[in-house]
Chains A and B, each alone.
Chain A
Amino acid sequence: MAFIPHTEADVAAMLAAIGVARIEDLFDEIPPELRVKSLVGVPEALNEMEIGRLMAERARSDGITLSFLGAGAYEHHIPAAVWAITTRGEFYSAYTPYQAEASQGTLQLIYEFQSMMARLTGMEVANASMYDGASATAEAALMAVRANRRSKSARILVPLTLHPHYRRVAVTTAANQGVKFEEVPYGAQEGVTLPEALARYETEDITALMVAQPNFFGRLEDVDALTDWAHARGILVIAVVNPTAAALLKPPGEWGARGADIAVGEGQPLGVPLSSGGPYFGFMATRMEYVRQMPGRIVGRTLDAAGKEGFTLTLQAREQHIRRAKATSNICTNQGLLMTAATIYLSLLGPQGLVRTAAMAHARTRELVAALTRVPGVRTAFNGPYFHETVLQLDRPVAPVLKALGSRGILGGLDLGTYYPELGNALLVCATETKTSADIDRYRGALTDALQGARAA
């Protein structure tokens, strides 16, 4: 069989068969004003040598930065073995393979991944991964609406302390499916969701409450109180957690008296390098009683006809290829390669290694906060514990300060002005185990200079 599917003669024969003169004529029902004549701003093609050279030059102009930027994606040390193993031919696939059971090694790895995520979140069952933390959060909202059969409202409480991008993706994904998101404000002093902000929903029909731990400000929410408040009113709890922090903090499955109902999050901190926003991967775990409402692929362990252990895709009747329009999700695959990296990362670190990573990141952030708040004009925005990120309040606009730091090779953090204008000159900073005391001192010195420079000007 030839793998050149359409010769000109083939095309001519097909057009003749359907009575059309030119391929163009197949598109004549699209109004001319909607057709793109040429791609404006897209340059001519380059060959491989030319594009390689261009990209090398662009990469050089990025320089090597010292990053104190977190806000949803975190720089962690990734042991060299992680990607050396992940990129082996046996593993090198983007998704769950077709005829999945023919790839027993891949399925076993996915099963191990699910087991690790279930352990880490303290939940009973986890899926084979989602696209990213934001899409997993949106899927959790849809899942909660299916799972909470007591609630008829499809109303979900979303604290403003949840990542702003996650909130937007949830609205984009679920709002047109009738899910209503209600924003819950945070305490101005504390930077967390307070019980009094929930009081107005006391007697209303609410489907689910989202709880971010740590929240977007790095602060720790009172997850036990929030979970118990929700459960006392028949409201499901969706935990949105950082997987590194989950090693150190109480896992979602143990929040409050009954534990969270669904746990999701961004998996990038587990062995995936920072890369302009992706590709990353999301994770999702839940209680066994809700497993049929969970989206995504699930691998199960079973016995074959000869009684030997094997792995198989399971509970597929939830999925699009069987359930069609009523499937739990239109996501019918997983982020295979990145999930593979995470499984290897977690295997290499082990539970204790992950705890040490988390503890070190927390310690470095405390050191960073202590150093930076000694700089005149800098104070912390909120009172109370944080994990590996916190909000600083500057005495002047953040953007020029970040620019000055950038000119000295320091990525100083995220200017929160765009997302939270009410916070004024607020800067979100992060330090992980990758930062040394010398790095922190360098940031402190550069920030001191930047603020003095701004004062002089």
Chain B
Amino acid sequence: MSNVPADLSYTKSHEWVRTLGDGTVEVGITDHAQHALGDLVFVEVPDAGRTVKADEACAVVESVKAASDVYAPIAGQITAGNPRLAAEPEVVNTDPYGEGWLMRLKPAAGALAAAALLSAADYQKVLDTEGG
């Protein structure tokens, strides 16, 4: 049974979104996603300053058996990629909702409202349908 914190928003492609106090959001991959990938050996995060469209591939998580794109849940500008992951990709496995965040971004005007994010309960339904 995957951990799905109630205070976060989610996407069908298994990203989570946390709204930070300063108007930016933090994005990572869910506990379910990290478990499905297995031990991560490499994470590529976007550079600060990059503008991304919603659903644009902007990070890569690579395990010993698979590599997967991570999509921007919301259009906006990247304010930070998690610098720690270059040397310690396994943090995404051990703390997917905390130290294992992938990127922070400042949503474009109106983008946060426009984004079709899921509540924790709805994301749990997605997992239940997928057999997760």
Residues of A within 8 A of B (CB): 149, 292, 317-318, 322-323, 326
Contacts and interface: CB of A to CB of B under 8 A. Distances in A.
Contacts of B65: 317, 322
Contacts of A292: 42, 44, 62
Interface string B36-62: 000001101001000000000000001
Closest 4 CB pairs of A and B: A317-B67, A317-B62, A323-B67, A322-B67
A143 to B, nearest CB: 15
Interface residues of B, number: 11
B47 A317 contact: no
A318 B65 CA distance: 11
B63 interface: yes
10 contacts: A292-B44, A317-B41, A317-B63, A317-B64, A318-B67, A322-B65, A322-B66, A323-B67, A326-B67, A326-B69
Given A149-B47, A292-B42, A317 B66 contact: yes
A317 B69 contact: no
The SS class assigned to the A binding surface is helix
A323 B63 CA distance: 11
A326 B44 CA distance: 14
B80 to A, nearest CB: 15
Contacts of A149: 47
Contacts of B69: 326
Nearest to B64: A317
A292 B67 CA distance: 11
A318 B62 CA distance: 9
A322 B37 CA distance: 12
Contacts of B67: 317-318, 322-323, 326
Contacts of A323: 67
Contacts of B63: 317
Contacts of B41: 317
Interface in B11-40: none
Contact of B42 (A317, A322, A326): A317
B6 to A, nearest CB: 33
A412 B41 CA distance: 54
A320 to B, nearest CB: 11
